[in-house]
Amino acid sequence: MKQYFPPEPLVELPNHPIFLGGSIEMGNVEDWQKEISDRISTCLSPDIFCILNPRRKSWDSSWEQSKDNPLFRGQVEWELEGLEKAQSIIMYMHPDTKAPISLMELGLFAQSRKLLVVCPDGYWRKGNVDIVCERYGIRQVETVKAAVDHIILMHANPDRLRFDLCG
């Protein structure tokens, strides 16, 4: 399965792109994106999906978070482009993080019908996330494993990979 990482250009994406959004905390949270990618790779044919993984391999937490910093700006623009181009978005709100950017992205794409949200108990704004998901019909699951299981179940009908069936 093809994976794209920033700053790799997102042109002519093959397959069904899935964006792995959510808690990263500048690299201080376990690499849950790898867990998802590895599991999908072992369970599904590589021609079914591609992964858009915002966890930059060369991230430097000392970068000034300014629109005038070309490295930082490139990261943010890559993520926004990936979210827009993705057919599906998995958004993971890790309970040990605040993830304010993930909350912003949840708001930006709440009405897109392409979100699958993982928000376990303990996440500091779980109530807010639950209400937004309920209001906009966003499917929620409790674990990263459950999100992957959902993708695997849906692989037989790739046209339905947009998460527009609430449950």
Q: What is the largest CA-CA distance in the chain?
A: 44
Q: What is the pLDDT of residue 166?
A: 38
Q: Are strands 2-4 and 49-52 parallel, antiparallel or unpaired?
A: parallel
Residue 107 lies in a domain: yes
* pLDDT > 80? residue 154: no
Question: In the numeric block, which tokens belong to residue 104?
Answer: 């912003």
Distances (CA, A) of 130 to 51, 113, 151: 25, 16, 21
Q: Specify the CATH number for the domain of residue 71.
A: 3.40.50.450
Q: What is the full DSSP assignment across 76-110? A: HHHHHHHHHH-SEEEEE--TT---HHHHHHHHHHT
Residue 8 lies in a domain: yes
CA dist 101 and 86 (Å) reads 18
Nearest to 41 by CA among 15, 61, 66: 15
* Domain count for the chain: 1
Torsion of CA 31, 36, 42, 48, to 10 degrees: -130
Residue 32 lies in a domain: yes
Residue 23 lies in a domain: yes
Residue 50 lies in a domain: yes
Distances (CA, A) of 75 to 2, 5, 44, 125: 19, 10, 29, 25
Average pLDDT of the chain? 88
Q: In the chain, what is the straight-line distance between the N-terminal and C-terminal CA atoms, in Å?
A: 28
pTM of the shown model: 0.90
Residue 167 lies in a domain: no
Cis peptide before 7 (omega within 30 of 0): yes
Q: What is the tens place of the pLDDT at every residue in 17-59? A: 999 999 887 656 788 999 999 988 888 777 778 999 999 988 7
Could you list the residue range(s) of the whole structural domain that residue 93 is in? 2-160
